[in-house]
Amino acid sequence: VSVTREGEISSVESLGCIGPTIERFEKMVEGGSYYEAQQMYKSTSARYITCQRYSEGLDILQSGATIQLKHGQITCGAELAVLFVDTLVKGQFPYNEETFDRVRKIYEAFPRINMPHFLGDDYDDDGQKLSEAISAAKVRSEGCSSFLRAALRWSAEFGTSRNGSPDLHVMLGEYIYSESPETDMTKVSSHFVRGNDPKKFASMLVNFMGKCYPGEDDTAIARSVLMYLSLGNLRDANLLMDGMKEQLKSADLELPKTDLIEFIKYLLQTLERDAYPLFRTLRQKYRTSTDRDSVFEELLDEIAAKFYGVRQQNPLEGLFGEMFKV
């Protein structure tokens, strides 16, 4: 077998057992030759993929993504992670327990260094330190988000959920919330409501209540409930509220006492019944509160369509449609 650079196989015909190849590349990473190893992972996996030996290509890319990420090489690891998903698509691998587990293992290799929502004294006297921390957090968040968004598109095409895997949505929402230096709660919520873990979502919102600026807490809660309802999911909307109440009670806290939260409580009760006139009356009475967020009215229009068959506009238009893009 001839090689052109250290460990790189020179022809498709010589492709054989990949175990020694993967070990060789891993040693390069462990020795600090991150860039050189990256080129090997990409070029060698591409040769397997070109001759439709997708399983071997996946093994190389998963190994490369995982070890690069574990060594803090986020850009390299994320690039190989996205190539791993691209190969799942090329090989038409179905979304199932096995393939999800492989995606999950790569996801778990992404570093987690929680960014404070409010930056404390540690950062006050060192602008350089703060700037570096924010830049690093953005790289981590964008790298993992790109990987999981690609995985969601694959799962939507080769799985059973047209919105993408609920498990992947939870993973993405969780990572954006914990790792992004600028938490976009609308984006976080849009993934959690397409997920399958309202209890975890409740924990995250309770956590956010302790960190957000005054007036952001009830808006975040209301938006989350309305997003569930706009998808016709009354069950998880109720589970979310119940989960929050339970967790807040155990901490001797409670939901914000605002007109917006009062509206949400009445709305959940109203949607249990065929009571469109009451729904419309509620909207009119609490319009001052729901006007606080420009997307609330669109969400409520979609809820009217889902629960009462009353369509105000074309579905998935405007801000509402933007929220649920992968």
Rg, the chain, Cα only: 23
Residue 276 token pair: 């469109």
CB 115 within 8 A of CB 288: no
282 domain-assigned: yes
- Convert the pLDDT of each residue in 169-225 to its tens digit: 999 999 999 988 888 999 999 999 999 999 999 999 999 999 888 889 999 999 999
What share of the chain has pLDDT > 90, as a percent? 75
Say which CATH number the domain at 251 has: 1.25.40.10
Contacts of 141 (CB under 8 A, 6+ apart): 175, 176, 179, 180, 181
Contacts of 83 (CB under 8 A, 6+ apart): 42, 45, 61
Asked if pLDDT for residue 272 goes beyond 60, the answer is yes
Number of domains in the chain: 1
Q: Quote the domain boundaries for residue 260.
A: 198-325
Angle between helices 259-270 and 216-230 (to 10 degrees): 20
300 domain-assigned: yes
270 domain-assigned: yes
CB 105 within 8 A of CB 81: no
145 domain-assigned: no
Asked if pLDDT for residue 121 goes beyond 60, the answer is no
Instruction: For residues 233 and 306, give the distance between their C-alpha atoms in angstroms, rounded to a whole number.
Output: 9
Among the residue ranges 78-87, 125-134, 199-208, 257-266, the one predicted with the least confidence is 125-134
Stretch 269-286: mean pLDDT, rounded?
96
Instruction: For residues 89 and 292, give the distance between their C-alpha atoms in angstroms, rounded to a whole number.
Output: 42
Strands of the chain (E only): list them: none
Asked if pLDDT for residue 11 goes beyond 50, the answer is no
> Mean pLDDT over all residues of the chain?
89
DSSP state of 3: B
**Residue-by-residue DSSP string for 150-178:** HHHHHHHHHSS-TT--HHHHHHHHHHHHH
Of 30, 168, 198, nearest in space to 103 by CA: 168
Asked if pLDDT for residue 57 goes beyond 80, the answer is yes
| Residue 52 one-letter amino acid | Q
* Per-residue confidence (pLDDT) for residue 268, from 0 to 100: 98
* Per-residue confidence (pLDDT) for residue 315, from 0 to 100: 53
What share of the chain has pLDDT > 70, as a percent? 87
207 domain-assigned: yes
58 domain-assigned: no
Of 82, 76, 179, 184, nearest in space to 135 by CA: 179
Task: Tell me the whole-structure pTM to 2 decimals.
Answer: 0.87
**Residue-by-residue DSSP string for 176-210:** HHHH-SS--HHHHHHHHTTSS-HHHHHHHHHHHHT
- The terminus-to-terminus CA distance of the chain in angstroms comes to 44
CB 37 within 8 A of CB 48: no
* Per-residue confidence (pLDDT) for residue 326, from 0 to 100: 65
Instruction: For residues 40 and 84, give the distance between their C-alpha atoms in angstroms, rounded to a whole number.
Output: 15
CA-CA-CA-CA torsion sign (119, 122, 127, 129): negative
CB 158 within 8 A of CB 85: no
183 domain-assigned: no
Q: What is the largest CA-CA distance in the chain?
A: 78
